[in-house]
Homo-oligomer: A and B are copies of this chain.
Amino acid sequence: MKNNVPVGIIMGSDSDLPIMQEAAKILDYFEIEYELTIVSAHRTPERLVDYAKKSKSKGIQVIIAGAGGAAHLPGMVASLTELPVIGVPIKTSTLNGLDSLLSIVQMPRGVPVATVAINGSKNAGILAAQIIGLKDSDIQKKVLKYKEEMKEEVVKKADKLEEIGYSEYLK
């Protein structure tokens, strides 16, 4: 794994990668370095302990952890580090991710996980950027710029919709 990058992205299984790559992509956009790997709470528990305990000394500042079902990865990592941990509940084939969401967000007093929406890994990346932006005003400016661009994109679409009407727009 890379050294001295500010964000660690981990996920419980490579089947989570199609979702979790969105966090990586938005960090690329913000030009924030990250490492990305697989750490399974249930199949590699010692790897989890090792990852979480070494993360701070390696220079990581924020950990993004995605998992589905009985999703224990984010909470267990959070229990083992003083760094902020962002949890991404992955949609499941049976309960649509409600199980993942509750397994991640309902943490007991003392150990928070900053939970985003089901499959919300892009927002996990943005949240990491906002947190890192508190120390790095360049990144904070990029976040602000990103928000501006989103706004402009919506306005552009709205203008087009108002101009051509919904039937034309939907073609």
Contacts and interface: CB of A to CB of B under 8 A. Distances in A.
A138 B124 CA distance: 26
Given A41-B72, A105-B105, A113-B116, 4 more contacts: A42-B78, A70-B72, A70-B113, A107-B120
A127 B84 contact: yes
Interface string A87-103: 00001111111110111
A95 B99 CA distance: 11
Interface string A7-28: 0000011100110110010000
A32 interface: no
Contacts of A46: 49
Interface residues of A, number: 98
B120 A112 contact: yes
A127 B154 CA distance: 28
Of A1, A35, A38, chain B has the most CB atoms within 10 Å of the CB of A38
Interface in A31-87: 35-47, 49, 61-62, 68-72, 75-76, 78-80, 82-84, 86
